[in-house]
A and B are shown apart, each in its own frame.
Chain A
Amino acid sequence: MRDLKAVGKKFVHVMYPRKSSALLRDWDLWGPLVLCVSLALMLQGGSADSKDDGGPQFAEVFVIIWFGAVVITLNSKLLGGTISFFQSLCVLGYCVMPLTVAMLVCRLVLLAGAGTVSFIIRLIVVGAMFAWSTLASTAFLADSQPPNRKALVVYPIFLFYFVISWMILTFTPQ
């Protein structure tokens, strides 16, 4: 119960990102795991004429999220960051939450239809959530970097959430 409360508190922190250190201090990877699995599950069932041209498989989404988070963490540590390995993984994983919400919204919108209007709605929602994710994770992570290398650390985070947003936006149901 105590762990569930901690996870829930972190979700609230991501929704209203302030520079609090609670997310950084008591890291856990439950939240990122739940988010990653639900995002990968929701990205299933995408259209494909042949198996080769479709959307990402479950394993691909999983690998992209975890491998991407590890690479970004290594990158920030190599550039001289003071954050620990698992703290950074924790922050990056929790900040996937807005994009998971966007995926949910996209699937609901696609139930109504797949025309141009639905595409524009999905584009706006995914774009807004992408900006939210990037800003939230930057707010938590940027302080632990040396000041003249902040942009070098923020850019890979931007690329990471951009790729996830692209996977969400290009999801087309069967």
Chain B
Amino acid sequence: MATADDLKFQEFDDAANLLAANPDATTISIDEPVEIPKNQHSHRQEPGREEDDELLGTDDSDKTELLAGQKKSAPFWTFDYYQTFFDVDTYQVLDRIKGSVFPVPGKNFVRLYIRSNPDLYGPFWICATLVFTIAVSGNLSNFFIHLGKPTYRYVPEFRKVSIAATTIYAYAWLVPLALWGFLMWRNSKVMNIVSYSFLEIVCVYGYSLFIYIPTAILWIIPQKVVRWVLVVFSLCVSGSVLVMTFWPAVRDDNRRIAVATVATVLLLHALLAVGCLAYFFDAPELDIPAPIIPAHNGTTVITKSH
């Protein structure tokens, strides 16, 4: 039977006073998110899980997503809506380019550099630069390869600019669209922790194409070995950016589908590089001695007619 005192409403002292009486008691304050246990937890974890946290970006993703929600509030038919996609400063663009050229193993490009501020400046102008770089370098390389041949006339090959533009812009916009659609579909079946918006995927693809610009310039060198080494090198660099971005998004899925997705991403990227090399740059020819066939035919004919 409870006494009257037990049933009476009791005022509890302030937490500080209680703690002064008993300093070792565990306390939870409801005002702020529970930070102390998480830090202790992360210290005790193995490096693999820390890497996961960094890849997921769980520490500030909540805050940045809230900010992103506040940013894109203009309706899509106003100019201000599109201005939110160009809300980057010079140093931010340069940082993102640097992050795509020097991929740090374990760091996710989207979480580290984009942080819910995807921009369209980088992808658009990197693609434009790449189009003209490939066209100009291909033209220059063909000029140097065929220089000195008596039957060669220099042509500017301007048609190839429009072909290059179509190819590269289609790759930079349609492949992210397909990938985004695929990831959304898998998200509806399997709960993935990490999911990207369409613009973030476009952003990653756009910035990952940056390494091809110096590669295209170096492809002017008319040596097959040099060109293929460059292809492999640039594929490794930009491929690793893409893999480190998309692996966390498919990792929780069926193993085979995850591997197939990442493999397809890499395969398409390789196809772009090899296709550009094959189409825009003529094969460097080896030195062939002047053909002696006409004289041989003549003597053959003479002997045959005998």
Footprint of B on A, CB under 8 Å? Answer: 46-49, 52-56, 60, 75, 77-80, 148-152, 155-156, 159, 162-163, 166-167, 170-172
Chain A to chain B contacts (Cβ below 8 Å), 23 pairs: A46-B156, A47-B153, A47-B155, A48-B155, A49-B153, A49-B155, A53-B155, A55-B156, A56-B156, A60-B158, A77-B79, A78-B83, A148-B90, A149-B88, A149-B90, A150-B90, A152-B88, A152-B89, A156-B128, A159-B128, A163-B132, A170-B156, A172-B156
Contact of A156 among B82, B86, B125, B154 (CB under 8 A): B125
A54 / chain B contacts, CB cutoff of 8 Å: 155-156, 158
Closest to A114 in B: B154
Residue B252 lies at the interface, judged by CB distance under 8 Å to chain A? no
**Minimum distance in angstroms from B306 CB to a CB of chain A:** 42
**Minimum distance in angstroms from B247 CB to a CB of chain A:** 31
Closest to B139 in A: A170
Residue B129 lies at the interface, judged by CB distance under 8 Å to chain A? yes
**Minimum distance in angstroms from B154 CB to a CB of chain A:** 6
* Most B Cβ at <10 Å: residue of A49, A79, A162: A79
Check B82 against A78 for contact (C-beta < 8 Å).
Answer: yes
B86 / chain A contacts, CB cutoff of 8 Å: 75, 78-80
Q: Which of B64-118 contact A (CB under 8 A)?
A: 79, 82-83, 85-86, 88-91, 93
Check B155 against A152 for contact (C-beta < 8 Å).
Answer: no
Check B136 against A53 for contact (C-beta < 8 Å).
Answer: no
Check B136 against A166 for contact (C-beta < 8 Å).
Answer: yes
Contacts beyond the supplied A55-B156, A163-B132: 9 A-B pairs with Cβ under 8 Å: A49-B155, A53-B156, A53-B157, A56-B158, A80-B83, A156-B128, A172-B154, A172-B155, A172-B156
Contact of B91 among A75, A78, A148 (CB under 8 A): A148
A46 / chain B contacts, CB cutoff of 8 Å: 156
Top 5 closest pairs, chain A to chain B, by CB: A78-B86, A170-B156, A53-B155, A148-B89, A151-B90
**Minimum distance in angstroms from B214 CB to a CB of chain A:** 16
A155 / chain B contacts, CB cutoff of 8 Å: 125
| A77 CA / B150 CA spacing, docked (Å) | 51
Decide: A52 near B153, CB < 8 A? Known: A79-B121, A163-B132. Answer: no
| A166 CA / B153 CA spacing, docked (Å) | 18
Decide: A53 near B159, CB < 8 A? Known: A148-B90, A163-B132. Answer: yes
Closest to A50 in B: B155
Check B158 against A152 for contact (C-beta < 8 Å).
Answer: no
B132 / chain A contacts, CB cutoff of 8 Å: 159, 162-163, 166
| A43 CA / B136 CA spacing, docked (Å) | 17
Check A149 against B155 for contact (C-beta < 8 Å).
Answer: no
A167 / chain B contacts, CB cutoff of 8 Å: 156, 158
Closest to A153 in B: B90
Decide: A52 near B90, CB < 8 A? Known: A47-B153, A152-B121. Answer: no
B89 / chain A contacts, CB cutoff of 8 Å: 148-149, 152
| A46 CA / B158 CA spacing, docked (Å) | 11
